[in-house]
A and B are shown apart, each in its own frame.
Chain A
Amino acid sequence: MELKVRILRYNPEKDVKPYYQDYILPDVSPDMRILDILHEIKWKYDGTLTFRRSCAHGICGSDGMKINGKNRLACSILLKDLNFKDTITIEPLPSLPIIKDLVVDMTSFFQKYEVIKPYLITKTPPPPDSERLQSNEDAEKLFESAKCILCGCCTTSCPSTWTNENYIGPAALLKVYRFAFDTRDEGGDERLEIIDNPDGIWRCHTIFNCIETCPKEINITWHISQLKKRISIKEL
């Protein structure tokens, strides 16, 4: 089938501002991933088209972008699973500075991730020659949050991020849950204090965009609500 692909282009060495460029692909299969379509353009038509990608099956988190108005991984959605007539539109993730074409500057995203102390904090030394004990039930409570691949789709889909660049965002909050609800972690309060402020967890207005966009289908808002509950109980 023939397909028109409209892509937001921007090359800081040439362009004053971003613009849309249309590519007509004469023969694409509905079974193609959107990433395959981007490669088709880059490898056969226009080598200057720039995007990130690596694993091509939804684990590495490189190719988050806005496809037909929704943030997704280009490798995790097939053409036939998109709703469209004859054109698909691809834009970079919103609200982050564009470096070139579909490549955005992820610096602030990773800074927000680092600030919440994204590692197990322990005070009691572990047993020297064996693992700490944890029930499988308690371990599995962490699995959904640990699925996060840091692609940035959620944080850049959140209207609270768009209106306040200091908002820590759903991805970092999800990571707080990952550790705060780990029975082995002893950093609960010091981590919760980092997010207990107007630019932290309270900037989440349960808009649910993060859930709708998450390519790993994580119920991010639920995890954030558990954190809100824990902080509220602590403050009562």
Chain B
Amino acid sequence: MIKNYDVVIIGAGGAGLRAAVEIPKEYTCAVISKVFPPRSHTGTAQGGVCAALGNMEEDSWENHVFDTVKGSDYLGDQDAIEVMCQDAIRAIIELEHMGLPFNRNAEGKIAQRRFGGHTKPVDPSDPYGKRVPVMRACYSADRTGHVMLQTLFENCIKNNVTFYSEYFVTDLIVENGICKGVTAFDISTGEVIVFRTKAVMLATGGYGRVFRITSNAHVGTGDGTALTYKAGIPLEDMEFFQFHPTGLWRLGILVSEAARGEGGILKNKDGERFMARYAPSVMDLAPRDMISRAIITEIREGRGILGSDGTYYVHLDVSHLGKKVIDEKLPEITGFARTYLGVEPIKEPIPIQPTAHYAMGGIPTNVDAEVLLNENGDIVKGLYAAGECACVSVHGANRLGTNSLLDIVVFGRRGGKKMAEFIKTADYSDISPSVAEKTKETINRIINSNGTEKVFSIRTRLQEIMMDKCGIFRNENDLKNLLAEIKELKERYKNISIQDKGTVFNTELMEAIELENLIINAEVTAYSALNRTESRGAHSREDFPNRDDNNWLKHTFIYENEGREPVIRYKPVTITKYQPMERKY
């Protein structure tokens, strides 16, 4: 079956929903998602969304730009960061107008709190001088992502947006640099549908599920990045994957930076506030990459706490904040500690470990969410990407907390506007009905296979080796071994079979297709990581411990060549105002 829509948006998280609101009613727009929209992973974001509203103390969007550039370890494109931080103020006001229930300050304006890496200069005329933490994160208790997702979904209902919920996209139809549509199947019936479109937006989120310990939902399998790469489009800066320092021990469930923004402290087994040694000025509010490295260093040097399963953790202590602050400001995350670890945060510290959290890299785009065909900035006509699956790049080598919720509303909207403009004059492309065959063949091959390999065992192995060899610290030897083993897993994948042979709600089939996407994401991440012989932001090479601006102040563009092997080219970083300097906090 072929369906025509002016716009198809893949993914119903914050970026996809925000884009959908922008498509005028006279055009047809469909949002396709493998889960119901309110199930999307945006809903798990907790601590806040930053904008220099200045509601609590003086602040400026330029301060926000400086912090984001520095946080990115100077790999973020400064023109794009300026767009995001300047637009942040309007974007937050707009969310309030849409109905988002923010916490408020004494005047009834949106309340703000501190967050890692967000600072302002003591002397406003000297951004390079001493800086102190600033209250910039707008929040709704520790459910900011949840209420943002709800608010955007509500506004889509108000705008009569058409949803294809529980449809799984399997193919991106790109020919001669033009995106013509996508193929998907209806999970509840197995029916394969081709969506013929003028514009497609990928808003498919991240791929944290390539790692063993992750804060990401099971759906975070990098479907959009994998589809793009398979369609011959490059991926940008895939070596930069953020580990959030405070995941719940063993489970990886996120414990928001808001816990530290409200005054929580990290402690090692001696009860020492170890961040005072690593980042004397901002301590527990240092950026995530630095704290994650500090935690692993503490554990490696024997100052971690041994858990019942033989793994190590450190403590996040919020007990001194008192019951009132904990209950009012951090109810959700302290609830997780109680439910999953049986720990009462009002009385005792929470066991935490770094958890794979966010892909800074992704599908390369310009500031209007148009997907780049190459490092020269040429675009793929009719193809857009926004949110975690995209790389604008505003996060560079390390994203600051709260900037992901900001990214999705700023660039989701810009992409939506750009698509609305594009479809006014664009035409549908011809699509041969036979494009559906590719998806049907994939489904039939997996269902009819009598192979001996299981999805679970390949995926578990992939997650283990990615965690061990491509995690917080990396080196050449590990990465080479990792790539060799990923090759083996790719071979094993060809021999997978599943037990569920049906067409109705076949989640085993979905997991098999998602595994292929995970393997692609893992391979490009490891390959890009091996290639970059320096340490910058979240990419930390033990064999190349320093940042090397002479050779590496550039974006990685990884392509698949005709022999289906990765090839790397580069794009320069855009610097407008802030020259790279040593990154100390």
Please give the residue numbers on chain A whose beta carbons come within 8 Å of chain B beta carbons, in ascending order.
11-14, 33, 42-44, 46-48, 50-62, 76, 78, 99-100, 103, 106, 110, 114, 117-120, 126, 129-136, 138-140, 142-143, 146-147, 149-150, 179, 182, 184-185
Contact = CB atoms under 8 A, between A and B. Distances in A.
Given A46-B499, A47-B499, A54-B39, A132 B143 contact: no
Contacts of A185: 99
B508 A47 contact: yes
Contacts of B494: none
13 contacts: A14-B502, A43-B455, A48-B499, A57-B340, A60-B40, A76-B339, A99-B504, A100-B505, A131-B96, A133-B108, A134-B108, A136-B108, A182-B99
B170 interface: no
Contacts of B339: 58, 76, 78
B46 to A, nearest CB: 9
A69 to B, nearest CB: 20
Nearest to B460: A43
B127 interface: no
B431 to A, nearest CB: 30
A52 B500 CA distance: 15
Interface stretch (B71-79, B149-157, B288-296): B149-157
Interface string B127-166: 0000000000000110100110010001101100000000
B347 interface: no
A134 B39 contact: no
Given A56-B253, A132-B97, A139-B103, 7 more contacts: A54-B39, A59-B332, A76-B339, A99-B504, A103-B505, A120-B98, A120-B99
Given A60-B39, A62-B35, A149-B38, A12 B504 contact: yes
A184 B499 CA distance: 53
A216 to B, nearest CB: 9
* Main SS class of interface, A: loop
Contacts of B552: none
B503 A13 contact: yes
B217 A60 contact: yes
Contacts of A179: 99
Among all A-B residue pairs, the 3 with the closest Cβ atoms: A120-B99, A133-B108, A47-B499
Most chain A beta-carbon contacts within 10 A, residue among B106, B109, B218: B218
Contacts of B263: none
A146 B140 contact: yes
B282 interface: no
A159 to B, nearest CB: 26
Contacts of A114: 157
Contacts of B213: none
B500 A47 contact: yes
Interface in B496-542: 498-500, 502-508
Contact of B143 (A56, A135, A146): A146
B440 to A, nearest CB: 18
Contacts, number: 154
A178 B326 CA distance: 23
Interface string B445-458: 00000000011100
B142 to A, nearest CB: 11
A146 B150 contact: yes
A233 B441 CA distance: 63
B93 interface: yes
Nearest to B98: A120
Contacts of A76: 339
B94 to A, nearest CB: 9
B554 interface: no
Contact of B504 (A11, A44, A56, A60): A11
A52 B38 CA distance: 14
Contact of B44 (A12, A59, A140): A59
B500 A48 contact: yes
A133 B504 contact: no
A12 B188 CA distance: 11
Contacts of A139: 101-104, 140
Q: Which of B98, B99, B150, B456 has the most CB of A within 10 A?
A: B99
B336 interface: yes
A146 B153 CA distance: 13
Contacts of B146: 59, 146-147, 149
Given A47-B499, A62-B39, A146 B44 contact: no
B154 A118 contact: yes
Contact of A106 (B36, B104, B141): B36
Contacts of A52: 35, 507
A131 B101 contact: no
Contact of B219 (A54, A78, A133): A54
B443 to A, nearest CB: 15
